[in-house]
Every structure is written in structure tokens, then in C-alpha cells.
């Protein structure tokens, strides 16, 4: 585990913390959904909120105060709303922790505790931003409520990279086949629930919309039957995620319906992956990381088939906004 | 105000309430987003959560207990997940309030306090489900924290129907024109933030996806620049909502960009509406109701132009799911 993470956890022990605010934008926000799920499922007393940075600033939650922990994330550490949110939270007396890839970035300077993550594929999964999010919340719950899953989490994350590498190698031929099959689609929906919803959202808005200019929407599997499912026909593509958390029955129900009436369904099922060294106590929370790695591999192949590199943008970092 | 609402408010006074859970599916859930916004903005101590019913059940929030208030809604009162959520919450000792159109429905029987709303266009806006949601949360905040906006809310809602009727009459020609212009679109996005996000979500999933089989997604205006905006080109249609709450700058920024690079933008701006009798203290929370009425009118005209009645379904209430 990174020394930066340990320092933040030490700081948690010194503070009375009654609420956690998870604040970021886009992809950085999406990786916080599973932490929110953990806090809802596991915490006896600590309330939690997840906001897009500019919504957080303007909503100005009245309960944000010196007993609040605000965790922020921005890859390059330059997202203006997120930097401003950090300063705003500090001004309210909250304890601030910022995750970023760049230790010299504005976000790194704005927060009390910066954690510089390392998401190179050669690095331990322990040092990935999404993993650090879980380390922070389970560390908090250990310190404040005696939650005992922290060590299970750490040992599970230590093994995760090698498990994921094996699964990616197995998945590659299917990813290539799916990329060929879906390369001309104009709309692709994603679907998930619980700890998985964040990666469904990430794939929809960061990969499909941002990096491939394909129309998309992350449909919550529990909401599907209350409106969205009416768009389904044989030709409408869906990516359905099946996780290992307690909401899996929602995903299974949505998948069954989609397979009954649709013919363009991609299923990524965490049960089909070898995650045997992941502790049962945290398996549901970690499964999204494995699914995300496969989704990313599919994205790479899709980009190749479409001759549309994932780095292509028409507006982002190019025009004022 | 309905006697049912008063009875629920009386019950709030008798109970220690530290958390509010807003639980429903689809359109019934969408009308709770502005109540969550109110609780975040206005409440000093009461924490709040919003879940789709089946997510609530399976997530099983650990902090749900006898000090929780759970507000549920289902129009016909038959949504199985929502009925089950009510029983689940009661079993945890929570105080349950259920909004429904049918006082004999399973939801009405499952909750401790049923509120039978009246959303006929002839009824006072006070008795609409979305208005009752605000009455409940402001009544709760009056009882527990001395929040003084409850009477402003009530007097503002009393006048709202007539204001909305005038605005609808003014909007009708434009609604008809827009319906003609957008009738062949395959994808239409909606966008909003703050108190407005719920109606952006409602229009996307209930009107466009469910009732018109048009692809859609409610994009949060604060998330737009962190992925979704890359799908924008001249021909991609957006409906951008401008409300009167504190997050309006997010909506304005998104609109400006969309109008710069897009040519298919529908703007519904609450500032252009005559809401003079609505109290300033609650205007931001009530503005979504007026915008929703205009959206509904646009939906009616769109359905006519497309020869696709809003009541048409292929799956809902027709096949098992």
C-alpha cells in the first residue's frame, strides 16, 4: 500500500468523521460509485454522498462541515471544478484527500492529503485509483467502526493484477470478435447495478460517448423495467454486466429479458472469471475492477476496428468550454 | 393540503428521524430528485438517500433503522419492488409513507401512512405527487429544524396550476412546431442539474425511451464536459433545461456550448416563465414543475406528429418481466 494512503488513514484516526463526500467528474467520479456502495452496505454510522464536482459546489450541501471527509479525484489534477471543490471543502473545515496521477498538480496542492496513484499496467493493483478508493473507505471503517475487511481487501488487491492479466488474455479473441461485430453501431447501451453501476457509467460516457462518439446511456438494471426497456428491439445493442455483489439478481433479471427480446447482447459475467484468490468478504466490491479491465480491452479492439483511436477528441482540451 | 399529508407530518413530529430514504422506480423516482436536492441544501442534520426500489432492497443500507423515514411512491401502487421495499423498511422499524393514486393498492396497504394524490389537471397543484414530496420534506424540516419555508411552499403551490396553464397556452404553438421538427429523430438527449435533473431523467426514460421508443439519456450538466459532450455535432438533438436553483450556472454553461457546436437545441428556461407569485425562497425547487408541464405538452405534440400515442407499449404490462 502507498505511504500516501497510510498517511491519509492515520489522519482519519485523528478526526471525528460523520460524513463522507465523494467528489469528482466523469471517469474519476465513476470509480467512486463502488466506494459509495461499500459505505451504504457496511457503515453503521457514517453517511455518504457522491456528487459531480460542480454540482457539489453549487448545491453547497448544508451538512458539509469540519466532521466531513471529502475525497476528490482528478487524473491530471487540473479539473477546475474539482480543484475548486477541494478549496471549498477545506474552507468549510472538512478533511480533504485528493487522488491524482500528478503530485505537482493544482489538486495535489489544494488538498490536505494527496495520494499519487500509479495506474501503469506494470504497477500493483493496490496503487490503482479505483483500488485506493476502497482502501480509503475500508480503512476509515476499520478505524471508526471496527470493520474487519481491510486486510482481506489488501491481500485480495495484491493478487488482482495477475488474475486480471490471465482473464484479459482469455478474453482477447472474444473482444476482437465483438469489436468486429459492433463496429458500425450508432447506439450501444450499458447496464449494471450496485457496485457495478459506476463502470457501466464509465463505459457509456468515457469510452462510448467521449472516445468513440457512439450514443450511449448507462441504464440502471433496477430502472430498466420502468421505462428504458421499451427501446429494446432485436437490433439495439446492450452490454450487460453481471457482478458478484448483492444486487446481482437485478442484473440477471435485466439480462434475461434483454436476451429474450434482443439479439445484440454482450454479457460480461464476473462469475465466469477466475477470482479464487479474492476474499469472499470483498469479492462483490472488487469484481467491477475485473469487469472494467475486460471492458477496456473491448474498447481498445473497438477503437482499432473503427479506425477511431481512443485518444481522438473534437472538443476536449481543444476548444474553450 | 391533503389530510393524508397532514397526518404524515403529525407522525413526523412524534418520531426521532435522522435519515430519509426516497424509494421508487422510474417516473415515481424521478419526482423525488428535487426533494433530495432540498434535503441536501436545507437540512442541518438529516441525511438523505435516493434509490431505485430494487437497488434499495438488495443494497440493504446498514443505516436503515427505526430512526429512518422511508418515502415511497408508485402511481398504481402495484410496483412489486416498491411494495416489497415498503415491507422491508417497516421490518427494519422505519417510518413508512407511501404516495399512490390508488388508496386500495398493495402499496397503500403496505405503508403506515398512505397519501392518495390527485394529479388530474383540474386538481390543485398542492395535491400532485411531486408537490406532495416537497410538502413532506419541508414539513419534516419545519418540525425538526425550524426551517421556515413550509408556508411559502404551500402558498406558492396554491397558485401554481393557474400559472402553469397560462404558460402551457403560450407554449403550445412552439410545442407543435418543435414536434414537427423533431419527429424523425432517432436520439434526443436531455440535460439539467440540481433540482432539474429529475425531470431531465423523467423525460429521457419515461417519455422518450418508454413512450416514444426514441434513444435517450439524461446528461447531468456538470458531467457533460467530462465525456458526454464529445457526441455533440450539428445534428445531435439536445433538450436543455434551465432552472432557477443554485446550479443554474452549470446548465447555462452546457447550453452555451451546445448552441455553439450544435444546431438542434431545444431550450426550456424557467426564467422566461411568469412565476411571479411563487415565493423566492422556494422558486428554485418549484421551477422544475413548470418545466415538466411544458415538457409534457411537447410530449403530447410529439406523440401526435409521430402517430405513436404515449400509451403505446411493446413490453410494459404486456409480457412477463
Q: Which three cell numbers stand for residue B215?
A: 434513444
B211 touches chain A (CB under 8 A): yes
**pLDDT (mean) for B90-112:** 98
Q: Do B62 and A55 touch (CB under 8 A)?
A: no
Give the torsion sign (CA, B57, B59, B62, B67).
negative
Q: Which of residues 170-189 of A touch B (CB under 8 A)?
A: 186-187
Using the beta-carbon criterion (under 8 Å), do B226 and A261 form an inter-chain contact? no
- pLDDT by residue (tens digit) across B304-320? 999 999 999 999 999 99
Which pLDDT score is estimated for A39? 98
Proportion of chain B above pLDDT 90, given as a percent: 97
Give me Rg for the CA atoms of chain B. 19
The reply to whether B237 and B201 lie within a common domain is yes
B316 touches chain A (CB under 8 A): yes
Cβ atoms within 10 Å of B146's Cβ, excluding its own: 8
* A144 and A7 housed in the same domain: yes
The alpha-carbon gap from B204 to the nearest alpha carbon of chain A, in Å, equals 9
Burial class (CB in 10 A: 0-12, 13-18, 19+), A320: exposed
Residues of B in Cβ contact (< 8 Å) with A61: 40-41
One domain for residues B122 and B173: no
Give the closest of B206, B250, B315 to A54, CB-based.
Answer: B250
* Residue A54 covered by a domain: yes
User: Residue B42's closest chain A neighbor by CA?
Assistant: A62
- pLDDT tier at B202 (50, 70, 90 boundaries)? very high
Let me know if residue B266 belongs to a domain. yes
Among residues A39, A66, A72, the alpha carbon closest in space to that of A53 is found at A72
- Is B161 within a domain? no
Checking if the pLDDT of A223 tops 90, the result is yes
Instruction: Tell me the C-alpha distance between A310 and A304, whole Å.
Output: 9
Report A:17-36 residues touching B (Cβ under 8 A): 19, 25-27, 29
Domain annotation covers residue A320 = no
Same domain, B139 and B201: no
Share of chain A above pLDDT 90, in %: 97
**Cβ under 8 Å to A: B residues 271-310:** none
Q: What is the pLDDT of residue B1?
A: 84
The mean pLDDT of A172-181, rounded to a whole number, is 98
Residues A10, A132, single domain; the answer is yes
Domain count, chain B: 2
Largest Cα–Cα distance of chain A, in whole Å? 57
* % of chain B residues with pLDDT over 70: 100
CA distances from B116 to A75, B73, B98, B102, B156 (A): 49, 10, 8, 6, 21
User: Angle B129-145/B3-14 helices, nearest 10 degrees?
Assistant: 30
Contact residues, A window 110-169, toward B, CB-based 8 Å cutoff: none
pLDDT above 90 for B122: no
Nine-digit cell at B298?
411537447
Confirm whether A162 is domain-assigned.
Answer: no
Burial A56-84 (b: 16+ CB within 10 A, else e): bbbbebebbeeebbbbbbbbebebebbbb
Residue B173 and residue B133 share a domain: no
Q: pLDDT of A10-29, one tens digit each?
A: 999 999 999 999 999 999 99
Pick A223's closest partner by Cβ from B205, B249, B261.
B205
Residue B268 domain-assigned (yes or no): yes
Determine contact, residues B21/B94, Cβ cutoff 8 Å: yes
DSSP percent split of chain B into helix, strand, coil, nearest 5: 55, 15, 30
Q: Which residues pair with A190 in a beta bridge?
A: A218, A239
Q: Residue B200: give its domain's CATH number.
A: 3.40.50.10490
In degrees and rounded to multiples of 5, residue B213 shows phi and psi of: 55, 40
Supply angle C-alpha B259, B262, B267, rounded to 5. Answer: 50
Q: Which one of A29, A40, A52 has the shortest CB-CB distance to B59?
A: A40
Cα–chain center distance at A72: 13
B16 touches chain A (CB under 8 A): no
Q: Tell me how far apart the alpha carbons of residues B267 and B286 are, in angstroms, rounded to a whole number.
A: 18
Residues B281 and B173 in one domain: yes
pLDDT at A159 over 90: no
Q: Is residue A140 located within the same domain as residue A177?
A: no
Q: Which residues contact B127 (CB under 8 A, 6 or more apart)?
A: B2, B117, B118, B119
Distance CA B266, CA B185 (A): 13
Q: Which three cell numbers stand for residue B224?
A: 457533460
**pLDDT of res. A3:** 95
Give domain status of residue B316, yes or no. Answer: no
Per-residue pLDDT, A122: 81
Query: In this complex, do B226 and A213 lie within 8 Å of one another by their Cβ atoms?
Result: no
| Chain B hits for A187, Cβ within 8 Å | 186-187, 215
Using left for φ > 0, alpha for ψ between -120 and 50, and beta otherwise, residue B227 falls in left
For B165-185, what is the mean pLDDT? 98
Rounded mean pLDDT, A272-297: 97
A78 and A196 share a domain? no
Tell whether B190 and B118 lie within a shared domain: no
- Quick one: which of B254, B246, B239, B243 has its CA closest to B288? B243
d(CA A60, CA A57): 5
Chain B residues within an 8 Å CB radius of A231:
209, 213-215
Q: Which residue in chain B is spatially nearest to A256 when comparing CA positions?
A: B321
pLDDT at residue B123 is higher than 90: no
Taking Cα atoms as reference points, which of B116, B145, B147, B111 lies closest to residue B129? B116
- Does B157 fall in a domain? no
Do A47 and A142 belong to one domain? Answer: yes
> Per residue in B294-303, pLDDT tens?
999 999 999 9
Contact state of A53 with B220 under an 8 Å Cβ cutoff: no
Locate B74 and state its grid cell.
408508485
Task: For residues B180 and B218, give the distance between their C-alpha atoms in angstroms, rounded to a whole number.
Answer: 22
Asked whether A135 and A97 are in contact (CB, 8 A), the reply is no
| Nearest CB to B227; choose among A26, A42, A63 | A26
Residues B181 and B112 in one domain: no
Chain B's closest residue to A193, CA to CA, is: B55
Q: What is the pLDDT of residue B205?
A: 98
Interface contact flag, A226 B26, Cβ < 8 Å: yes
Mean pLDDT of B245-249: 98
Contact B52 A228 (CB under 8 A): no
Residue B221's domain comprises 168-305
Amino acid at each position: 500500500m502507498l505511504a500516501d494512503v497510510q498517511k491519509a488513514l492515520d489522519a482519519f484516526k485523528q478526526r471525528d468523521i460523520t460524513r463522507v463526500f465523494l467528489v469528482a467528474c466523469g471517469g474519476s467520479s465513476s470509480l467512486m460509485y463502488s466506494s459509495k456502495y461499500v459505505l451504504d452496505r457496511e457503515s453503521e454510522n457514517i453517511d455518504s454522498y457522491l456528487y459531480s464536482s460542480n454540482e457539489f459546489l453549487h448545491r453547497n450541501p448544508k451538512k458539509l462541515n469540519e466532521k466531513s471527509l471529502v475525497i476528490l479525484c482528478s487524473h491530471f489534477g487540473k479539473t477546475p471544478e474539482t480543484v475548486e471543490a477541494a478549496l471549498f471543502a477545506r474552507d468549510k473545515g472538512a478533511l480533504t484527500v485528493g487522488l491524482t496521477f500528478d503530485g505537482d498538480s493544482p489538486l495535489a496542492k489544494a488538498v490536505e492529503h494527496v495520494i499519487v496513484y500509479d495506474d501503469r499496467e506494470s504497477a500493483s493493483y493496490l496503487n490503482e485509483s479505483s483500488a485506493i478508493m476502497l482502501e480509503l473507505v475500508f480503512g476509515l471503517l476499520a478505524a471508526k467502526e471496527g470493520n474487519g475487511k481491510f486486510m482481506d481487501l489488501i491481500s485480495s488487491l495484491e493478487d488482482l493484477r495477475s488474475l486480471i492479466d490471465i482473464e484479459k488474455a482469455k478474453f482477447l479473441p472474444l473482444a476482437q470478435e465483438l469489436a468486429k461485430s459492433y463496429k458500425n453501431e450508432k447506439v450501444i447501451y450499458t447496464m449494471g447495478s450496485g457496485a457495478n453501476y459506476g463502470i457501466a457509467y464509465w463505459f457509456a460516457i468515457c469510452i462510448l460517448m467521449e472516445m468513440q462518439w457512439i450514443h450511449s446511456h448507462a441504464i440502471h438494471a433496477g430502472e430498466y423495467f420502468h421505462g428504458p426497456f421499451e427501446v429494446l428491439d432485436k437490433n439495439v445493442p446492450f452490454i450487460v454486466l453481471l457482478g458478484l455483489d448483492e444486487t446481482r439478481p437485478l442484473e440477471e433479471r435485466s439480462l434475461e429479458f434483454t436476451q429474450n427480446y434482443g439479439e445484440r447482447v454482450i454479457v460480461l459475467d464476473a462469475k465466469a472469471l477466475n477470482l479464487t484468490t479474492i476474499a469472499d468478504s470483498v469479492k462483490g466490491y472488487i469484481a467491477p475492477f475485473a469487469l472494467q479491465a475486460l471492458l477496456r480491452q473491448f474498447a481498445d479492439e473497438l477503437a482499432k476496428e473503427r479506425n477511431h483511436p481512443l485518444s481522438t477528441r473534437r472538443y476536449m482540451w481543444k476548444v474553450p468550454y
